[in-house]
Structure 1
Amino acid sequence: MKTEVYLVRHGETLFNRLGKVQGWCDTPLTIRGIDDLKKTALALAQIHFDNMYSSDLKRAIDTVHLMKNANVVSQIGKIKKLPEFREVFFGSFEGDSIDETWRAVSKAAGIPETEDVKAIIDAVGIYKFREATKKADPRHLAENVEELDLRMQRAVKVLREETRNEGRVLVVSHGDFIKTLGIKYWDQSDGLHDIPFPENGSVTRGILDEDGNFKIVDYNCSADDL
């Protein structure tokens, strides 16, 4: 059975608002984040889901419960948490200023220091950006290309096993992780270059086939697009 997967990015959080690096560290949803998610939840309220899943981080768990509570056509039991769908890990940079972090990463990438993450990625490419992040991390704990790709493949495999008898599911994950999935699996991505960062509360839709092959067919859709 093919499974239609709705990937939802969690709502805005405190660290999003404060401009701090947030990967595996966690902060609560803001009022704005909750309000935006209510729009997404309303847009999905009449879509039947066989199940709902989320990353094991609280901002994702709170988001999936908003989706579940608003849906009027699905009978969803206990939400299963999938740690494989966590955000990208930024190691020692977790909780630091985003601007200071990107300056350190740009320096490690060998380009003029900048706070503009897009400028860094445009200059060196998404893969060298990941390697520069690990290099700039004083403890070298940040996920690099290989580590993130292995976790991403594991996430798809785990989701295939969980959803073999489910036709449509919702999974709440995180911006950078969804973007990384998009680079690899979106049918409009060449697999090499950067793509837009998904908005808080956005929906990315993919198809998971019987053999575990995953393809994203709609990326970063707002509530108005659904």
Structure 2
Amino acid sequence: MATEVYLVRHGETMFNQLNKVQGWSDSPLTVKGINDLKVTARNLSQVHFDKMYSSDLKRAIDTAHLIQDTNEVSVPSKMKKLPAFREVFFGSFEGDDIDQTWEKVAVAGGMKPERNVDKIIETLGFEKFRDATKKADPRHLAEDSKDLDERMNQAVEQLTKETKGLGRILIVSHGDFIKSLGLHYWKGAKNKEIIPFPENGSVARAVIHDNDKFEIVDYNVKSSELNNL
């Protein structure tokens, strides 16, 4: 039995609003974030989920509970947290200004200072971009491509085991992590280095097939477009 997965990015947070690197650090959902999530939740209120999950970071947990509380057709159950679905770890850069961080990453990758992350990824490639982030981190704690690939594989494997026999599930995760999944598993990705960064409250829809193959079939579906899924 195939399992349908609705993969939701959490709502806007204070760090998102302040243009700060967030990663494993946490900041609360903003008023805008909550209001935008209400649209997502309302448009998912008639979608039946056999189980709901979230990463173990509070912004994801709060998002998942808001969606669960609004849903009218799913049986309420205890929310299970899956740490493997937490955001990419940025090490010493967490809490720093995003633009200044990307400049340092670009230089570590052999480029001139550059603040446009898409240009950096297009120049270096996604794996080298991750490796440059770890290299630029003064303490070298940030996840590089190997670290992230291992955790992403673990996350997909765990989700596959967790959802055996379930028809449809929801899991709330994070922008960089969902984008990383998209680069690996979205069949609609035409450029394997550059795909859109998922919006807050957006949904990626995936299928775990009977042979345990994980495949993303819709990506970055905005809250206002969820009725088209």
* TM-score category (smaller protein): over 0.9
1:49-98 Cα distance to aligned partner (Å, 9 max, x none): 00100000000000000100000000021000000000000011011111
Q: How does 1:170-181 map to 2 (within 5 A)?
A: 170-181=170-181
Superposed displacement of residue 192, structure 1: 3.3
Please say which of residues 5-14 and 210-219 is displaced more in the overlay: 210-219
Normalised to the residue count of structure 2, the TM-score between the two structures is 0.96
1:140-163 Cα distance to aligned partner (Å, 9 max, x none): 111111110110010011111111
Give the conservation status (yes or no) of the 8 Å contact 1:9–1:178: yes
Give SS of 1:12's match: coil
Give SS of 1:73's match: coil
1:135 corresponding residue in structure 2: 135
1:192 corresponding residue in structure 2: 192
Amino acid at match of 1:71: N
Amino acid at match of 1:96: D
Residue 97 (structure 2) pairs with residue 97 (structure 1): yes
Give the conservation status (yes or no) of the 8 Å contact 1:184–1:191: no
Q: Percent identity at matched positions?
A: 61
2:41 corresponding residue in structure 1: 41
Q: How does 1:24-35 map to 2 (within 5 A)?
A: 24-35=24-35
Superposed displacement of residue 125, structure 1: 1.4
Give the conservation status (yes or no) of the 8 Å contact 1:183–1:190: no
1:110-167 Cα distance to aligned partner (Å, 9 max, x none): 1110121112112211111111101000111111111101100100111111110211
Amino acid at match of 1:105: V
Amino acid at match of 1:224: S
C-alpha separation between the residues in 2 aligned to 1:113 and 1:102? Answer: 8
Give SS of 1:77's match: coil
1:115 corresponding residue in structure 2: 115
- Unaligned regions of 5+ residues in structure 2, if any? none
Amino acid at match of 1:126: F
Superposed displacement of residue 194, structure 1: 1.9
- Unaligned regions of 5+ residues in structure 1, if any? none
1:159-180 Cα distance to aligned partner (Å, 9 max, x none): 1111102110000000000000
2:65 corresponding residue in structure 1: 65
C-alpha separation between the residues in 2 aligned to 1:65 and 1:85? Answer: 16
Give SS of 2:8's match: strand
C-alpha separation between the residues in 2 aligned to 1:219 and 1:128? Answer: 24
Give SS of 1:216's match: strand
Give the conservation status (yes or no) of the 8 Å contact 1:185–1:191: no
Amino acid at match of 1:199: E
Residue 182 (structure 2) pairs with residue 182 (structure 1): yes
Extract structure 1 runs of 4+ deviating beyond 4 A.
none
1:22-61 Cα distance to aligned partner (Å, 9 max, x none): 0000000000000000000011000000010000000000
1:54 corresponding residue in structure 2: 54
Amino acid at match of 1:148: L
Normalised to the residue count of structure 1, the TM-score between the two structures is 0.98
Give SS of 1:48's match: coil
Superposed displacement of residue 100, structure 1: 1.2
Residue 102 (structure 2) pairs with residue 76 (structure 1): no
C-alpha separation between the residues in 2 aligned to 1:17 and 1:121? Answer: 23
Give SS of 1:29's match: coil
C-alpha separation between the residues in 2 aligned to 1:131 and 1:190? Answer: 23
Amino acid at match of 1:206: A
Residue 86 (structure 2) pairs with residue 86 (structure 1): yes
C-alpha separation between the residues in 1 aligned to 2:137 and 2:210? Answer: 39
